[in-house]
Amino acid sequence: MAQRQFFDEMSGLGGQSQTQGQGQRQAQQQGQARPPYRRIAEWLRQTPEEQLANKRREAEALYRRHGITFGAYGSADGHETTIPFDLIPRVLTQEEWRFLERGLIQRTRALNAFLNDAYHQRDICRAGKMPENQILLNEQFVGLAQGLTLPGDVHAHIAGIDLVRVSADEFYVLEDNVRTPSGVSYMLENREVMMRLFPDLFQRHSVLPVGRYTEELLNMLRAVSFNGDREPTVILLTPGQYNSAYFEHAFLADEMGIELVEGSDLFVDDCRVYMRTTRGPKRVDVIYRRVDDAYLDPLAFNPESLLGVAGLVAAVRAGQVNVVNALGNGIADDKSTYLYVPDMVRFYLGEEPILKNVPTWRCDKSDDLKYVLEHLGELVVKEIHGSGGKGMLVGPTSTKAEIEEFRGLLRDRPANYIAQPTLALSTCPTLVERGVAPRHVDLRPFVLSGKETVVMPGGLTRVALKDGSLVVNSSQGGGTKDTWVLGA
Amino acid sequence: MRFDVQHVTRFRFEEACGYSIHQCRLRPRLGESQRLLSWEVRTPGRGRDWTDGYGNHVRTFSLTEPHREIELVARGVFEWIEGGQDYLVFAAPEALPPGYWLRNHGLARHEASIQTFVADLADRAGDEKERVPLLHVLMRRLVEGLEYRVGATTVDATAAEALASGAGVCQDFAHLFVACSRVLGVPARYASGCLSQKGATHVGRVGHAWAEAFVPDLGWIGFDPANGICATGEYLKLGIGLDYAEAAPVTGRRIGGGQAAMEVDVQVRQVG
Amino acid sequence: MLSSTAKNLYWMARYIQRAENTARVLEATNRMALLSNSDREWRSVPLIYGLDADFAERHPSPTMRDMLHYLTIDEANPSSVASCFRAARNNARDERNNLTIDLWESLNGTWLELQGMMRGIGDGIDFRQFLDWTKKQAVMATGAAQSTLLRDDAYNFVMLGLQVERADNTARILDVKYHILLPKGERVGGSLDYYQWAEVLSCIGAYRTYRRVYSSKIEPWRVAELMILRHDLPRSLLFCLGQVDRNLGELAELYGARGEATRLAGKLYSKLRYARIDTIFQDGLHEYLSDFIRGNARLSEEISRQFLMG
């Protein structure tokens, strides 16, 4: 693998940006940090390694005590694992954040406009900006949702937009998540833990708070009820404790003070949804569901599903309950639709996209496929409907055999894949076995859309803990960091 | 021509059932030359009518008190004003464009065996002017290749399974027709409804099913491969879908009740 | 509160209690076997739980060890101590967010330890040690519930499970033991073995209480009076039903509605409050207890219907 240059968030070194000028190279020689990281660098220099190690153990204990676990929640032996948490925060300046925030809100508004259009007239196709089959033949398109008009025309109430940074002023959107994006509980808990462990660091910085997220979330959920005449009852529907994100479901329900329910706690009567309580049936107005479309209603989708509620789709279509996020959102965030998002921004908002897409080759186009097959060793190949870092090839870090395997897959089902250049994801100093070393990071901010569209300042920074790895997914051994947006 | 329709579905549970919910598509979707003179749908419990993404009229109703029996009745009279065509065009405003109905889905999904079954027709499929004759060739192929036999398949048989077994009922014929059409690039869908037993040979007492295929400039045309004829104004359509599951006249879920017996009785009589 | 939550809490408590009760009965039976050369006592134990047919099928010519194995670590028996602990832990796991860490850790710890033990023992289990451990774990879990749970409706459901199970257990022990120890034709108050009655008392941990209350020799009718009508003995029927009545009363007040369960509990409780032991014996103890067991089971069904199914 060729030696690559990566932009380091703290030192400002590497990357290909024009702004990487003389001054920064000098900074390297003097061991200086970029302004937003200056105090962090100072703190790292002053803090003995064993103290950091102690704090790390303390953090781990806190996570266990709070029951913050991932994946193996319901594992047979009752033991659970936590996602590794890194103590060194990832810092964004106010200016950087302003830019990202505008871009995120713009992108989410466009995605919402697209989803509403996709399930109504499909004007974007009529205007020639997108082939209609991209929507109609998309595996994720839900025919039953055609013509469904939702409160505020919002479909993607909660969006997690994955961003990567490659230089001081270049960010790319890696993917949009508008089905049931997860990870926000880590954003909140990471901040809690950091504030407990390093109160002095917070005194030395002005960090914008993220703790209001659950309140904003609840406000949004209440605002999207169909039943405006009633004080809305909001619940969170989980697939149950065997789901890898169960902790997050319990955490969010707890924080919002709403019931955490499973499908069997609910029933539909007269096209209205009720939950079974010790006081009798209680009507439900808004369901924050963390169950996938296919399992949501055995009468409408997978008839074998035990996770959903029979008649739920009828209740939604009869305008008696709203489901968040909406049905059929998968058409907006799969990797083939991704290509069209900049056009969505232009078409629906009449604006130029603020955030850029990563250049992408579609393997169903023969020219693109040819290029991809010739350059497999340099590219990242992704399954169109894949998620969680699975079904993906990172050319530069893969073996010959892995590359050849993908060559076969691509030839068999080219339409299933897209390819992108291997991005030089920025690095951020991270506590590793021996001292501090740069590790690749991405960023997932969370965007809420109800009456208006808001973003919490920050998000979840995911970090690839393996040296050189570009895969940050927690299911693939990634960790998380607290993400700071500095105040003015 | 006038037809009187009585569409009765009855469930009997072995034990008292504490909760059940049912979804029915029992309100007609008319063709160009059809008219409804009267229609009513009677269901127990509490329910509401809604329209699904395909424009089907659905009623979802539920019972929350212990019950051992459920009866759904749809009845009414419809009229066919005979025209010059030998087939009926279903020309109501469409919720989704024809392209949607190419989706490879559910019980009507196509697999290798189905591709082989119509491989020789692929050449003709490209020509839109050839579409109607092509669909007739396809229908004849099904009539000749598949035996109409009650009990040959189960209600959840796929098109490929029906093809492999060489026999089936109207549902299987319809699934196979739909699957073949889609393989050939012709948008097609499953239709459920009813038809007078005089109108055709192979009509079950439990209702009927056929297929619809899209022909540019003409619209959606009904093909009834179980009988080898195109749908006429005698066919009363109650629902469309990608496959049976999406168009089924009645589906449901319940808690308790033990074994259940379902009984469907559909009678269509010409009354004028 | 969600009905499913209440249901899990109710059954969690019942299972914890069932494990403890079984351990107490087996301990007493074990002690008795050391003193007597009759096998009537231990053979009667599966009968207490209505498991006699299943036990006989699995063990056509049973030994006492078979019986102990069947009721302690046999996971094929859904009422064994091991099965009860597993069920209690699973109920608790479903409601982790509604439990205190102490209670969850106590149940999960018990379960993990049990798994370790089951892997290690084979045939060489020391039943006395196991029963001791069982009692200790169950008491710890109950203690954790009582000392850490918030006193809201969740607590009421835990208490309901605990008391309904206790009442059932006490009634069954008394019924079966009285039957066994007092063969047909023998008069109440006849010359029966002191040790056997001491065993009955031990089954509900009330031997010393008896001594303190009556300071007289152990007489069968007094044993029955203690187990049924004593107002301050935590496992007497009167005490348990009093608690059930109180908890249901609190729920009725909280929810602003009284249902069939509330009414039935009140009825069972008043019947006990105004009962006299001589009339109970006149009308037949067995009939009285069978009646109570049926009534208590119906009460549990009504609690389910009213609160746990929604």
Higher pLDDT, A385 or B49: B49
pLDDT at position B213: 96
pLDDT at position C107: 93
C18 within 8 A of C165, measured Cβ to Cβ? yes
B185 within 8 A of B172, measured Cβ to Cβ? no
Last residue of a domain, one of C115, C149, C183: C149
Average pLDDT in the A99-104 region?
97
Among the listed residues A408, A413, A427, A346, the one whose alpha carbon sits nearest the alpha carbon of residue A383:
A413
B206 within 8 A of B238, measured Cβ to Cβ? no
A170 with A232, same domain: the answer is no
Chain B neighbours (≥3 Cβ pairs under 8 A) are: A
Disruptive mutation site among C2, C102, C155, C255 for chain A (greatest number of A CBs within 10 Å): C2
The H helix count followed by the E strand count for chain B is: 6, 15
Please determine, for residue C310, whether its predicted confidence score (pLDDT) is greater than 80. no
Residues of chain A neighbouring C2 (CB-CB closer than 8 A): 259, 261, 265, 275-278
CATH assignment of the domain containing A287: 3.40.50.11290
**Residue type, position C244, single letter:** V
What 3-state class would DSSP assign to A394? strand
Q: Phi, psi (5° rounding) for residue B90?
A: -95, 100
DSSP string, A438-478: EEEEEEE-EEEESSSEEE-SS-EEEEE-STT-----GGGTE
Among the listed residues B182, B72, B37, B200, the one whose alpha carbon sits nearest the alpha carbon of residue B122:
B182
C174 within 8 A of C202, measured Cβ to Cβ? no
The neighbouring-strand residues paired with B4 are B77, B269
C136 with C157, same domain: the answer is no
What are the structure tokens assigned to C38, written together?
């009759």
pLDDT at position B263: 93
Residue with tokens 């709203």: A322
What 3-state class would DSSP assign to A57? helix
The H helix count followed by the E strand count for chain A is: 15, 21
Is the bond into A138 cis (omega within 30 degrees of 0)? Answer: no
Average pLDDT in the C277-297 region?
93
B101-160 pLDDT per residue, tens: 999 999 999 999 999 999 999 988 888 888 999 999 999 999 999 999 988 888 899 999
Residues of chain C neighbouring A250 (CB-CB closer than 8 A): 96-97
A85 with A71, same domain: the answer is yes
B108 within 8 A of B179, measured Cβ to Cβ? yes
> Strand pairing of A170-177 and A158-167?
antiparallel
pLDDT at position A80: 58
* Domain residue ranges of chain B, discontinuous segments joined by +: 2-81+249-270, 89-246
Question: Percentage of residues in chain B with pLDDT exceeding 90?
Answer: 75
Residues of chain C neighbouring A241 (CB-CB closer than 8 A): 93-94, 96
DSSP state of A487: -
B217-231 pLDDT per residue, tens: 888 999 999 999 998
C145 with C204, same domain: the answer is no
**A19 inside domain:** no
Q: How many domains does chain A have?
A: 3
Residue A74 pLDDT level (bands cut at 50, 70, 90): very low
Residue C212 pLDDT level (bands cut at 50, 70, 90): confident
What residues contact B168, with CB distance under 8 A and at least 6 apart? Answer: B146, B147, B148, B149, B152, B153, B157, B162, B176
Please determine, for residue A17, whether its predicted confidence score (pLDDT) is greater than 50. no
pLDDT at position C38: 73
C237 with C191, same domain: the answer is yes
Disruptive mutation site among A124, A138, A141, A146 for chain B (greatest number of B CBs within 10 Å): A146
| Nearest residue on chain C to A254, alpha-carbon basis | C97
What is the CATH number assigned to the segment(s) B89-246?
3.10.620.30
pLDDT at position A305: 85
How far is B271 from A149, CA to CA, in rounded Å? 42
Disruptive mutation site among A313, A316, A412, A413 for chain B (greatest number of B CBs within 10 Å): A313
A202 with A232, same domain: the answer is no
Asked if A241 and C4 come within 8 Å (Cβ–Cβ), the reply is no
pLDDT at position A3: 45
Among the listed residues B96, B94, B95, B114, the one whose alpha carbon sits nearest the alpha carbon of residue B104:
B114
pLDDT at position B256: 87
B92 CB within 8 Å of a chain A CB: no
How far is A364 from A335, CA to CA, in rounded Å? 12
Q: What is the mean pLDDT of chain A?
A: 89
**To which H or E segment does residue B67 belong?**
strand B67-80
Last residue of a domain, one of A262, A293, A320: A320
Residue with tokens 């340099």: A378
**To which H or E segment does residue A380 belong?**
strand A379-383
pLDDT at position A12: 87
Nearest by CB: B23 against A147, A267, A314? A314
B155 within 8 A of B201, measured Cβ to Cβ? no
**A433 inside domain:** no
What 3-state class would DSSP assign to A109? helix
> Strand pairing of B229-230 and A266-269?
unpaired
Q: At what angle do helices C127-148 and C153-181 cross, to 10 degrees?
A: 150
Nearest by CB: A264 against C4, C255, C307? C4
A60 with A79, same domain: the answer is yes
User: What is the domain extent for residue A378?
Assistant: 359-421
A167 with A115, same domain: the answer is yes
How far is C73 from chain A, CA to nearest CA, in Å?
18
Please determine, for residue C123, whether its predicted confidence score (pLDDT) is greater than 70. no
**A260 inside domain:** yes
How far is B157 from chain A, CA to nearest CA, in Å?
15
How far is A64 from A66, CA to CA, in rounded Å? 5
Asked if C310 and A265 come within 8 Å (Cβ–Cβ), the reply is yes
pLDDT at position A178: 97
C201 with C74, same domain: the answer is no
How far is A150 from B261, CA to CA, in rounded Å? 39
CATH assignment of the domain containing A395: 3.30.1490.270
Please determine, for residue A1, whether its predicted confidence score (pLDDT) is greater than 50. no
Q: What is the mean pLDDT of chain B?
A: 92
Cα–chain center distance at C70: 17
Q: What is the mean pLDDT of chain C?
A: 89
Asked if A277 and C2 come within 8 Å (Cβ–Cβ), the reply is yes
Please determine, for residue A21, whether its predicted confidence score (pLDDT) is greater than 80. no
Disruptive mutation site among A278, A282, A283, A306 for chain C (greatest number of C CBs within 10 Å): A278
Asked if A303 and B46 come within 8 Å (Cβ–Cβ), the reply is no
What are the structure tokens assigned to A63, written together?
């996570």
B89 within 8 A of B32, measured Cβ to Cβ? yes
pLDDT at position B272: 81
| Nearest residue on chain C to A281, alpha-carbon basis | C310
Q: Residue B240 class from Cβ within 10 Å (0-12 exposed, 13-18 middle, 19+ buried)?
A: buried
A437 within 8 A of A461, measured Cβ to Cβ? no
Asked if C310 and A264 come within 8 Å (Cβ–Cβ), the reply is no
Asked if A278 and C96 come within 8 Å (Cβ–Cβ), the reply is no
The domain defined by B2-81+249-270 folds into Immunoglobulin-like (2.60.40)
How far is C211 from C218, CA to CA, in rounded Å? 8
Among the listed residues A244, A267, A263, the one whose alpha carbon sits nearest the alpha carbon of residue A305:
A263
Residues of chain B neighbouring A318 (CB-CB closer than 8 A): 48, 50, 60
Question: Percentage of residues in chain A with pLDDT exceeding 90?
Answer: 69
pLDDT at position A72: 41
B242 CB within 8 Å of a chain A CB: yes
C195 with C309, same domain: the answer is yes
**A197 inside domain:** yes
Average pLDDT in the B158-179 region?
95
Residue A359 pLDDT level (bands cut at 50, 70, 90): very high
| Nearest residue on chain C to A259, alpha-carbon basis | C2
Asked if B103 and A136 come within 8 Å (Cβ–Cβ), the reply is yes
Please determine, for residue B197, whether its predicted confidence score (pLDDT) is greater than 70. yes
How far is C61 from A423, CA to CA, in rounded Å? 74
How far is A473 from A460, CA to CA, in rounded Å? 11
Q: How many domains does chain C have?
A: 2
Q: Phi, psi (5° rounding) for residue C109?
A: -60, -45
Residue B91 pLDDT level (bands cut at 50, 70, 90): low
C250-269 pLDDT per residue, tens: 999 999 989 999 999 999 99
pLDDT at position A483: 97
pTM score of the predicted model: 0.89
Average pLDDT in the A272-295 region?
96
Residues of chain A neighbouring B48 (CB-CB closer than 8 A): 270-271, 314, 318, 320
Disruptive mutation site among A119, A276, A299, A312 for chain B (greatest number of B CBs within 10 Å): A299
User: What is the domain extent for residue C34?
Assistant: 1-149
Lowest mean pLDDT among A264-268, B23-27, B124-128, C188-192: C188-192
Average pLDDT in the A184-201 region?
93
Please determine, for residue A60, whether its predicted confidence score (pLDDT) is greater than 90. no
Last residue of a domain, one of C96, C121, C149: C149
Nearest by CB: A276 against C89, C111, C310? C310
Q: Phi, psi (5° rounding) for residue A299?
A: -80, -20
Please determine, for residue A27, whether its predicted confidence score (pLDDT) is greater than 70. no
Asked if C2 and A275 come within 8 Å (Cβ–Cβ), the reply is yes
How far is B167 from B174, CA to CA, in rounded Å? 12
Sign of CA dihedral B149, B154, B155, B157: negative
Residues of chain A neighbouring B21 (CB-CB closer than 8 A): 267-269, 299, 310-311
Residues of chain B neighbouring A320 (CB-CB closer than 8 A): 48
Report how far apart the first and last C-alpha atoms of chain A are (Å, whole number).
42
HEC readout, chain C: CEHHHHHHHHHHHHHHHHHHHHHHHHHHHHHHHHHCCCCHHHHHHHHHCCCHHHHHHHCCCCCHHHHHHHHHCCCCCCCCHHHHHHHHHHHHHHCHHHCCHHHHHHHHHHHHHHHHHHHHHCCCCCHHHHHHHHHHHHHHHHHHHHHHCCCCHHHHHHHHHHHHHHHHHHHHHHHHHHHHHCCCCCCCCCCCCHHHHHHHHHHCCCHHHHHHHHCCCCCHHHHHHHHHHCCCCCCCHHHHHHHHHHHHHHHHHHHCCCCHHHHHHHHHHHHHHCCCHHHHHHHCHHHHHHHHHHHHHHHHHHHHHHHHCC
A387-441 pLDDT per residue, tens: 666 678 888 888 999 999 999 999 999 988 999 998 889 999 999 887 889 999 9
B116 within 8 A of B122, measured Cβ to Cβ? no
pLDDT at position A348: 98
How far is A12 from A23, CA to CA, in rounded Å? 10
C145 with C32, same domain: the answer is yes
Among the listed residues C24, C5, C1, C3, the one whose alpha carbon sits nearest the alpha carbon of residue C13:
C5
Among the listed residues A406, A324, A443, A359, the one whose alpha carbon sits nearest the alpha carbon of residue A9:
A443
